[in-house]
Chains A and B, each alone.
Chain A
Amino acid sequence: MKMDGDIRVRTSKDHQQLYNDLKGLLVKDFHELFFLTACLGYCHGCHAKLGKSAEDRFWSRTIAPDEWYAYYSMVLAKNDMDFGAVKDDKAVIAEIEGYAHGGMLFFIENTLNGYLLERESGLSVDKSVSQDLPRRVMQSVFETAVKG
């Protein structure tokens, strides 16, 4: 629980283009998109292993303290409040990467669908229709949080 800043946070390489496209459009930085997808993954019970598709995306030093506490809380809740489970930040991040990946898949399926184009480099945002995307995402997050 030291909020280790030297960890390489990984996401699927299939989502590299998506991360690039959504930075600036939906979020200010990668760690925010990672947080958003991790929260979605946790909230909807979507956890997926990255497996061979894992690719370093950003340094953990960019993760905000509140985000870290949210990650610790998710891991603690999953491990019956065993603080031993959050002693190692690498393990925490590894666990959260699973939520972020599952959350991203859920996000693509349920929210980004209709705003995306399939390219050789992977999924990318269709800029011609992306104007309304931030509102749509915020609306969806808000409604999920309110209605459960």
Chain B
Amino acid sequence: MILETLTINNFRQFRGKSTLRFAHGKKNVTVIFGENGRGKTGIFRALIFCLFGDRQLSQDELVDDREVHLVNNGAMRDSQQEKGRTVEAGVELTFKHNDCRYTLRRTVQGLWHNGERHEEGKEVTLSIERPDGNCTPLRDPESIKEMMGLVIDYRVREYFLFDGEKIEHLTRASQHQRTEVSKGVRNLLNIDGLEIATKALKHVGKEFAKELEKSATGELARTMKRLNESTAKRDTFDEQIAALAADIQKAEEEIEDLEKKLKKHRGITELVEQRERLNGQIRDIEHEMQDVRAVVRDKVARTAILLCLDPIRSVYEDIEKRRKKGEIPPEIRQDLIERLLSERKCICGREIRSGTPEHTQLKEWLRRVGDPELSDAALEMWRSLSGIISQEETVRSNAETTLQQFGRKNSELERLRRQLSTVTAKIGEDVRDDAIHWEGQRKKAEAAVRKKSVETERLEEMRQELDALIRQLEAQKVKLEKERGIANEMSARHTLVENARQALVAVADAFTKEARETIAAQATAYFQTFLDADSQGLFDRIQVNNDYSLQIMDNHGNAVLANISAGQRQLMSIAFIASLAKTAADGDLLQMPLFMDTPFGRLSLDHRLRLIDNLPKLCAQWILLATDTELRRSEARHLYESKRWGRFYRLVSTPGGETEVEERSTEDALTLIREEEEGES
């Protein structure tokens, strides 16, 4: 498959129609360049959507399918004004495959219903134009899927169309993914045909064996009977092992699925824990606030005295004045004045007549002395008011402190409640219960995998014993036939078929082993060319395991995959893909594009330059979706000088927040792409 054009219409950030033409041939590199958020992944998504109908990319695994919108937001917003109006979005891809030109078109329709946005797939069409000019149009989605499966195996799509930062997952994929990929790779290497032939021969051999049993007599008949029974038993074991493998795979898929949900939930678990912590803190603060409230309740009446300090001070000052004047307590006793007035005699014996200044003075004294009880009470009051006034500052300061304390606690409480509200909103409803349920299911599935794995091992052991018995019985059968001089056609056919089957199994095993070794050797060579000088001496070889998972060995024979960097893992995965493509194409260039989103994110400058130098020679077409931090002027210049750079597209944002595709020459690219900033490498 060689990609020619990709036309997107109202898809994601791209309003209206935009077409990209991909470089191929001698200049086989296309760069789609844009800053983050400009829609590079939108183009990758458009390609995946068009080829397979997938709305989601592997990086969307934690996003609900319904949350991935394909129809352009601006177009959708405009359509909201007109009731019932729909917006059509679509992607059209043209490519060449085995001398035919394919035009694949897939559309999706967006509409508003009851204020909610909906999207639904509309149609998919495929047109195949043959070299003679004849055209075959297909409209049935199933036929199109089948036809596309012949062009690119869905199971290995991520080998050719991938996110550069994610491709390192090839080195650590789950068991299920590895099994799927292994099937895809076997298909790519055409090993499947051998397996089908082996199965067919096995079936024919069984039929012959049944016929032979019918015609045999005596010990040969008994041997044949045992042989057929054992073979049937072995088939039953095989079926049971296959059923167990299917169960294990199903359980592993379930575990994988549950882990995805739990992974999504793990963030929520942290939020739930945070919520519990916040609730605890809120409870503590509320308890503390209860205490502060009790303090407030105890002090509020006491504080109210501040409101009547003016009369208190006035009265205090008045009594103080009177006290200073000697009116309170009276300097002269009331009874003495009364006696002097009634006797009209001074204490010196002089007569005091009424109307004289002395008489008036005594009268005034009597008035000022007043009620002695009241005078005592006033004096007592004066003392108490003095105490109240002296405590004014303490009461004021206590009130202020209590209010500040209350204010602090209250602010803290409000802050915690706001946090709680945010966290609760993030958590959503019933998620915790769901997670507990999922965790339980995961444990059950894991237990099932363990149990079935043990059962599989037991059955495989029994099968091996049975295999030995079958070989023994087959030898005995041949011996008996020889002894009795039996040489009929049926027996000869049976032997021939069985020998052919065994030979095919051996061929398949040898081919698979050889293919793996070739892929590994080639991948190792590519990997070494991608690595910088410092790293080249560190690794001995890449190893391709039976299930096509990868391992890398150091010079001392140690498996070091777990200890290499993510960038090195990315290079290793790319080396494996390039090697696989070369092996599948029998040494030629496999006619498949390498479509890479974020190709250089994890790579150092040296590794980037090495990839730019080598990868265009190893694949038929290289399409890069790069950001300004990945493809800077030094990388661009290097690519330009490699003479492999065919086309350059820039994704430019419009004032409306959408993206336009702008084709520029590769010469222009050198001026448009920024220089590295100081300290950047």
Contacts and interface: CB of A to CB of B under 8 A. Distances in A.
B336 interface: no
A144 B307 contact: yes
Interface stretch (A9-17, A37-45, A112-120): A37-45
Interface in B373-390: 374, 377-378, 381, 384-385, 388
A134 B304 contact: no
Interface in A56-96: 65-66, 69-70, 72-74, 76-78, 81, 83-84, 87
Do most interface residues of chain B lie in helix, strand or loop, or is the interface mixed? helix
B305 A73 contact: no
A134 B301 CA distance: 11
Contacts of A78: 311
Interface in B311-326: 311-312, 314-316, 318
A138 B402 contact: yes
* Interface size, A (range): 35 or more
B571 to A, nearest CB: 63
Interface in B541-600: none
Given A72-B315, A73-B308, A74-B308, A26 B384 contact: no
Contacts of B312: 69-70, 73
B296 A138 contact: yes
Contacts of B388: 66, 69-70
> Which of A66, A72, A83 has the most C-beta atoms of chain B within 10 angstroms of its own C-beta?
A83
A1 B306 contact: no
A131 B285 CA distance: 14
Interface in B273-304: 293, 296-301, 303-304
Interface stretch (A27-35, A47-55, A121-129): A27-35
Given A81-B314, A145-B306, A26 B300 contact: yes
B304 A39 contact: yes
B399 interface: yes
Contact of A74 (B293, B311, B378, B400): B311
Contacts of A69: 312, 381, 384-385, 388
Contact of A77 (B315, B378, B396): B315
Contacts of B63: none
Contacts of A18: none
A11 B293 CA distance: 26
B371 interface: yes
* Interface size, B (range): 35 or more
A141 B308 contact: no
> Which of A1, A26, A74 has the most C-beta atoms of chain B within 10 angstroms of its own C-beta?
A1
B300 A32 contact: yes
B310 A77 contact: yes
A95 B174 CA distance: 89
Contacts of A104: none
B303 A42 contact: no
B403 interface: yes
A28 B295 CA distance: 11
A78 B378 CA distance: 16
B193 interface: no
A76 B377 CA distance: 13
Given A66-B305, A74-B308, A144-B307, A27 B297 contact: yes
A76 B315 contact: yes
B293 A134 contact: yes
Given A69-B385, A135-B296, A145-B396, A35 B301 contact: yes
Nearest to B409: A135
Contacts of A42: 307-308, 311
Contacts of B396: 142, 145-146
Contact of A1 (B296, B300, B374, B410): B374
A43 B300 contact: no
A70 B312 CA distance: 6
Nearest to A3: B377
Contacts of A66: 305, 384, 388
A27 B296 CA distance: 9
B128 to A, nearest CB: 73
Contacts of B297: 24-28, 134
A24 B406 CA distance: 18
B374 A142 contact: no
A73 B308 CA distance: 8
B384 A65 contact: yes
A135 B403 contact: yes
B149 interface: no
17 contacts: A1-B377, A28-B297, A32-B301, A35-B305, A36-B304, A42-B308, A42-B311, A43-B308, A66-B388, A70-B312, A73-B314, A74-B311, A134-B300, A135-B296, A138-B399, A139-B403, A141-B303
Interface of A: 1-2, 24-28, 32-33, 35-36, 38-40, 42-43, 65-66, 69-70, 72-74, 76-78, 81, 83-84, 87, 131-132, 134-135, 137-139, 141-142, 144-146
The 4 closest A-B pairs by CB, nearest first: A145-B306, A32-B301, A77-B311, A1-B377
